[in-house]
Amino acid sequence: MRPPHLFVALLILIGTFVVAGENSQACGCIPAMTEAELAPYKAKAERGDAQAAGTVWFEYGLNGAPASAQQLRYWRSKAIRLADPYAISFMVNDWMLKVQDSNDPEDKRLFADTAVKLLNHAWRNRQLIPMADRGSAWDRQANYASDLRLAVGVQTVLRDGVTRREALANRGDATAAHHLAVYYFYGTLDQDKRAYWEDRASQLGDPDFAGHAVRRRNSNDDIRDIRRALRSDAPVHRIPNPWIRMVTLRDLNNRLRLRLKWQAEGR
């Protein structure tokens, strides 16, 4: 007998389950910390430090530090309870891949709901999300905002179906086109439909896909779409959350500057 949907979601969120991606195999990138090295992080985490809890979970869950299933559950739960955005971003990626892999519509909705709940929970510690990694143009705040829109988009189409979103998108609704693009990647892994709706979302001024669709396009088209996404009547200005709107606008402006630079350099 399948457990009730809400009960399963609660178990997932408090860390009762060990998710895909958590294992005892090192990633081979950075040597795993020893228990002696982890000890100060554990002490800080027990005093309520979210980033320390996330570090311990990352070491045990993804970087190969030896850990029992019980330890993995404990530190996963701790990282979630304290809302470490970095750890949660990895967990959300796992849940969205579970959406993609599952053939069960109910499970797909459960996994997408879990991803949205985790990202909304991470919101309380948004001040811990850096604007960009040192030496990188990747804006992790904008990435968080994009991940949230992505998860909500998949959740929305899984809940409401494709027909209504297609009707809205065909009438020029950029957000509906965005939701269809992410759904066709995570919901059905239909790459042709994903690419089609990413292009449409870009053309309609969606802030995530403007000049950023999976299909390569010429720079003039990318620049035109980004400028459309920055117009005063564009969807980005209707994002209700001021912080999400601010970081998304900053990302769009950075994207435009980069495309203009590449164009000037003949790339």
- Overall average pLDDT of the 222-251 stretch: 96
Confidence of residue 26 (pLDDT cuts 50, 70, 90): very low
- Overall average pLDDT of the 232-238 stretch: 96
Q: How far apart are CA 229 and CA 207, in angstroms?
A: 6
Are the C-beta atoms of 99 and 112 separated by less than 8 Å? yes
89: DSSP letter: H
C-alpha dihedral (190, 196, 200, 203), degrees to nearest 10: 130
At residue 134, the pLDDT reads: 54
Within 10 angstroms of residue 136's Cβ, the number of other Cβ atoms is 9
Q: How far apart are CA 63 and CA 25, in angstroms?
A: 7
Looking at per-residue pLDDT, the higher value among 20 and 108 belongs to 108
Task: Tell me the pLDDT of the chain averaged across its residues.
Answer: 89
Within 10 angstroms of residue 116's Cβ, the number of other Cβ atoms is 20
pTM of the model: 0.86
Are the C-beta atoms of 221 and 206 separated by less than 8 Å? no
pLDDT higher than 50, residue 7 = no
Are the C-beta atoms of 169 and 195 separated by less than 8 Å? no
Within 10 angstroms of residue 125's Cβ, the number of other Cβ atoms is 17
User: Strand locations in the chain, DSSP E?
Assistant: none
Q: What are 150-205's pLDDT values in tens digits?
A: 999 999 999 999 999 999 999 999 999 999 999 999 999 999 999 999 999 999 99
Domain extents in the chain: 15-105, 131-264
Cα Dmax for the chain: 62
Confidence of residue 133 (pLDDT cuts 50, 70, 90): low
Q: What is the 3-state secondary structure (H, E, C) of 24-74?
A: CCCCCCCCCCCHHHHHHHHHHHHCCCHHHHHHHHHHHHCCCCCCCHHHHHH
| Residue at 237: amino acid letter | H
